[in-house]
């Protein structure tokens, strides 16, 4: 897939980086294949996460998915609560709204605000699907890019990722809108894994971002039994800092998800069940 040409090009800047929540729910929802009766998410939900840097707690993060009429809204906010993140008053906020058209999620507006003791960063993307354009503003500088069908912002990528993971043969390639271009993002599914979490032992479908010529890595664990809601994420460098996001609470359609037994208890129960059947 070839990125479209740029219409107006101010001086070059650093490309938009995927915020950690967008990678975890990187990435940026587990829909079933679209049908005439339902083209939307399974159910609204909210989730809380703990953010660790090199194994030390740094921040808390919250994610919200809700529906308002025909529009779906996603919000995430991370706030420094411990260590260096607290000292620098770290806050990362994201917002996306969009609609389903023909079974595919189309973002309409994206907002990202990153604040700390250093220079603040603010980005927005306004999608004009009728005219095939997206207007991106970063720290006061604006440019307009040509859209391609299926283009996503960092949070909408979560929507498409979860939708693909629900398919028998997922296609994990997404055209991401960045500050100065549209760039193809490629992922691959790993072997299914049982994962120990605050919600108990969960069956997950790990996914990692495909990178070449770098020590950077991004991996996350959507829970297949929870409609592929991400329950863990890792991001960093094999020879440097590493960030980890772990789920702590989950509410689906207003109902809290109660913790299941841990993996050790679940494995013991399966062994006892097999012994009874023999």
Q: Tens-digit pLDDT profile for the chain (278 aa)?
A: 444 444 333 333 333 444 444 444 333 333 323 333 334 456 899 999 999 999 999 999 999 999 999 999 999 999 999 999 999 999 999 999 999 888 788 999 999 999 998 888 999 999 999 999 999 999 999 999 999 999 999 999 988 898 899 888 999 999 999 988 999 999 999 999 999 999 999 999 999 999 999 999 999 999 999 989 999 999 999 999 999 999 999 999 999 999 999 999 867 655 444 444 44
CA distance 28 to 220: 11
Residue 27's region, left for phi above 0, alpha for psi from -120 to 50, else beta, is: left
Cβ atoms of residues 232 and 244 within 8 Å: yes
What pLDDT score was predicted for residue 18? 40
Cβ atoms of residues 122 and 134 within 8 Å: no
Give the pair of three-digit tokens for residue 2: 């070839």
What pLDDT score was predicted for residue 11? 37
What pLDDT score was predicted for residue 173? 96
Give the pair of three-digit tokens for residue 151: 């283009």
What pLDDT score was predicted for residue 269? 55
What pLDDT score was predicted for residue 102? 81
User: Could you give the 3-state DSSP secondary structure of residue 158?
Assistant: helix
CA distance 161 to 19: 16
Q: What are phi and psi of 116, to 5 degrees?
A: -165, -170
Polymer length in residues for the chain? 278
| Cα-based angle 271, 276, 278 (whole degrees, multiple of 5) | 95
């Amino acid at each position: 897939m070839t990125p479209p040409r740029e219409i107006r090009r101010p001086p070059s800047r650093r490309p938009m980086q995927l915020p950690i929540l967008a990678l975890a729910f990187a990435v940026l929802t587990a829909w079933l294949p679209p049908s005439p009766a339902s083209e939307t998410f399974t159910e609204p939900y909210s989730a809380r996460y703990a953010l660790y840097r090199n194994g030390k707690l740094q921040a808390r993060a919250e994610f919200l998915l809700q529906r308002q009429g025909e529009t779906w809204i996603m919000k995430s906010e991370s706030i420094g609560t411990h260590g260096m993140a607290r000292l620098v008053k770290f806050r990362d906020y994201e917002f996306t709204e969009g609609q389903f058209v023909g079974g595919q999620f189309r973002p309409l507006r994206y907002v990202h605000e990153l604040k700390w003791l250093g220079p603040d960063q603010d980005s927005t993307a306004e999608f004009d699907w009728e005219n095939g354009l997206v207007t991106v503003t970063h720290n006061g500088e604006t440019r307009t890019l040509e859209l391609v069908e299926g283009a996503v912002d960092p949070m909408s990528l979560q929507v498409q990722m979860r939708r693909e993971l629900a398919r028998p043969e997922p296609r994990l390639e997404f055209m991401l809108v960045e500050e100065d271009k549209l760039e193809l993002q490629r992922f691959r599914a790993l072997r299914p894994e049982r994962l120990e979490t605050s919600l108990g032992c969960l069956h997950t479908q790990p996914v990692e971002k495909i990178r070449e010529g770098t020590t950077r890595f991004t991996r996350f664990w959507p829970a297949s039994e929870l409609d592929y809601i991400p329950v863990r994420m890792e991001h960093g460098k094999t020879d440097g800092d590493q960030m980890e996001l772990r789920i702590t609470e989950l509410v689906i359609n207003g109902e809290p998800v109660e913790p299941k037994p841990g993996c050790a208890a679940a494995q013991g129960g399966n062994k006892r069940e097999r012994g009874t059947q023999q």
